[in-house]
Amino acid sequence: MKLYNLKDTKEEVNFSQAVKFGLGKNQGLFFPKKLPVFSKKKIKELLNKKFVSRSQKILSMLIGSEIKKKKIKNSVKSAFNFSKPKMINITNNIYCMELFHGPTLAFKDYGARFMAHILSCLNNKDNKSITILTATSGDTGAAVAHAFYKMKNIKVIILYPKGKISNVQKKLFCTLGKNITTISVNGSFDECQKLVKKAFHDQEIKENTQLNSANSINVSRLFAQICYFFEIFYLIPKDLKNKLVISIPCGNFGNLTAGLLAKSMGLPIKKFILATNSNNTVPRYLDTGIWNPYKTISTMSNAMDISRPNNWPRVEEIFHKKKWNIKDLKYGYVSEKKTEKNIKDLYQKYQYISEPHAAIAYTLLKNKLKSNEHGVFLGTAHPIKFQDTVEKILNIKLKEKNSISNIFHLKDLSYNIQPNFNKLKKILLNK
Ligand SMILES: *Cc1c(COP(=O)(O)O)cnc(C)c1O
């Protein structure tokens, strides 16, 4: 597969290079030159397959012949080796697609694990040591750390905003040690991301380490996420297939990008709703045509506390390339108060326990869904990851989750730094 740089369209790379480089010149995002399209018949065929074998087909088709089919197949199989997504019926016309049954209880397990396995495949060929440097608002860190944990020749360094991630998130990835280093930064997620971007452009760092960002800007992560949009159509009752509206809680807009890519490949998704919290740069942009990020504010849905979403240029490029109208994209943002109210509603009316991210997508879906449509909102994280918030709002005690019961006594091994580039540089260069 060939991809080009959105900021410098003359720069072209293949898939393996895009995975290794992460970003192109001028911090430009890579974008596929040709978006493959499946025929209706092929889509039908795909939808008859099970999740893993279907995903193997989709990713092989996307990536093409530059990586051996067998390697792609094995990577998908090892990456997606946990419980499949679940579709939960909430009301007569609303469903939740739960994507949080992986090892770190958020959808990010899909992308991070596929990336880890593909990268390890590519890396075995070169046999060089790689450093994964990434910023997280909580869930990426956990997913990436677990995906790369104990992998040969791969070192992982993760930055996160101190005090702004949940206890479960912290215990999941700041306690691993071995090839995983975690750094808490006295600042916001955007500041963490800035430090990371700077490191990628520092000459001395470039010369001494082979850096890779496992952020959702990496195409391997995005591509892996396309697979569960197909799974939605496998799980939903057949007669709803042409009436489906999908509501997505957006932070860095990776999920929305993956969903749009799935649609561009022929999956008949009727509409998307993009939902943000009060960090609403995109909803304001779609209202006014002016890109004007405000300072990031902390909310309950901390994985969406992002005011400069990295993937947005890709969303615009898809609309441009497919000649779709951006006005068909539904959007909105949800305040803390409304989020809280809808977490309560979901529980009291439908006995469904949700967390703030999914509840934001649910809120807009419920408000915007027409009577002839059916809606799916993405359940992006398990409620236990936001235990304190959910328990306080619902005034209940959440059931313990067996798979993580042994993490709570583990020690936080993080370094702490000011948002100061030289500190990070020292750690990266082992000085
Ligand atoms: C990362 C994350 C999001 C935002 O997803 P993007 O792909 O960055 O838009 C939403 N909810 C949860 C729980 C997340 O971890």
Give the pLDDT confidence score for residue 126 in this predicted structure.
66
Tell me: the pLDDT tens digits for 88-131? 999 999 999 999 999 999 999 999 999 999 999 887 666 778 99
Task: Please tell me the distance from the alpha carbon of residue 319 to that of residue 408, in angstroms, as a whole number.
Answer: 45
CA of 379 to the centre of ligand 1 (A): 10
- Which domains does the chain possess? 82-105+219-401 (3.40.50.1100)
Give the pLDDT confidence score for residue 74 in this predicted structure.
97
Q: Is the pLDDT of residue 323 over 70?
A: yes
Q: Is the pLDDT of residue 431 over 80?
A: no
Is there an atom of ligand 1 within 6 Å of 281 CB?
Answer: no
Tell me: the pLDDT tens digits for 152-207? 999 999 999 999 888 888 999 999 999 999 999 999 888 998 999 899 889 999 89
Q: Which is the closest atom of ligand 1 to the Cα of 252? A: 8
Q: For residue 42, count CB atoms less than 10 angstroms from its CB and return exposed for 0-12, middle for 13-18, buried for 19 or more.
A: middle
Q: How many other C-beta atoms are found inside a 10 Å radius of the C-beta of residue 214? A: 30
CA of 45 to the centre of ligand 1 (A): 30
Is there an atom of ligand 1 within 6 Å of 144 CB?
Answer: no
| Share of residues in the chain with pLDDT > 70 (%) | 99
User: Hey, which bits of 44-153 come out as E strands?
Assistant: 86-89, 94-98, 130-135
Measured on CA atoms in the order 365, 249, 302, 148, is the torsion positive or negative?
positive
Q: Considering only CA atoms, which of 252, 235, 249, 218 is closest in space to residue 380?
A: 249
Measured on CA atoms in the order 58, 64, 70, 75, is the torsion positive or negative?
negative
Give the pLDDT confidence score for residue 214 in this predicted structure.
84
- Residues near 419 by beta carbon (within 8 Å), at least 6 away in sequence: 185, 186, 187, 191, 192, 194, 195
Give the pLDDT confidence score for residue 202 in this predicted structure.
94
Task: Please tell me the distance from the alpha carbon of residue 148 to that of residue 117, in angstroms, as a whole number.
Answer: 8
Is there an atom of ligand 1 within 6 Å of 381 CB?
Answer: yes
Please enumerate, as own/partner, the contacts of 314-321 that have beta carbons within 8 Å and a separation of 24 or more: 314/6, 314/29, 314/31, 314/222, 314/253, 314/257, 315/253, 315/256, 315/257, 315/260, 317/6, 317/31, 318/35, 318/257, 318/260, 318/261, 318/264, 319/260, 321/35, 321/264
Q: Which is the closest atom of ligand 1 to the Cα of 385? A: 13
Mutation test of ligand 1: which of 96, 107, 277, 362 has the most ligand atoms closer than 8 Å to its C-beta? 107
Instruction: Say how many Å lie between the first and final Cα of the chain, rounded.
Output: 39
Residue whose Cα lies nearest atom 15 of ligand 1: it is 139
Work out the average pLDDT over 316-339: 97
Tell me: the pLDDT tens digits for 38-75? 999 999 999 999 999 999 999 999 999 999 999 999 99
Task: Please tell me the distance from the alpha carbon of residue 91 to that of residue 350, in angstroms, as a whole number.
Answer: 7
Beta strand pairing status for 86-89 and 94-98?
antiparallel
> CA 12 from chain center: how many Å?
24
Task: Give the pLDDT band (50/70/90) at residue 340.
Answer: very high
Residue whose Cα lies nearest atom 14 of ligand 1: it is 303
Per DSSP, the three-state class of 413 is: coil
- Residues near 209 by beta carbon (within 8 Å), at least 6 away in sequence: 131, 428, 429
> CA 222 from chain center: how many Å?
7
Work out the average pLDDT over 204-229: 91
Q: Which is the closest atom of ligand 1 to the Cα of 306? A: 8
CA of 275 to the centre of ligand 1 (A): 11
Range in 185-194, 335-344, 389-398 with the lowest mean pLDDT? 185-194
Query: Can you name the residues that pair with 87 across neighbouring β-strands?
Result: 97
Task: Please tell me the distance from the alpha carbon of residue 77 to that of residue 170, in angstroms, as a whole number.
Answer: 28
CA of 316 to the centre of ligand 1 (A): 19
Residue whose Cα lies nearest atom 4 of ligand 1: it is 251
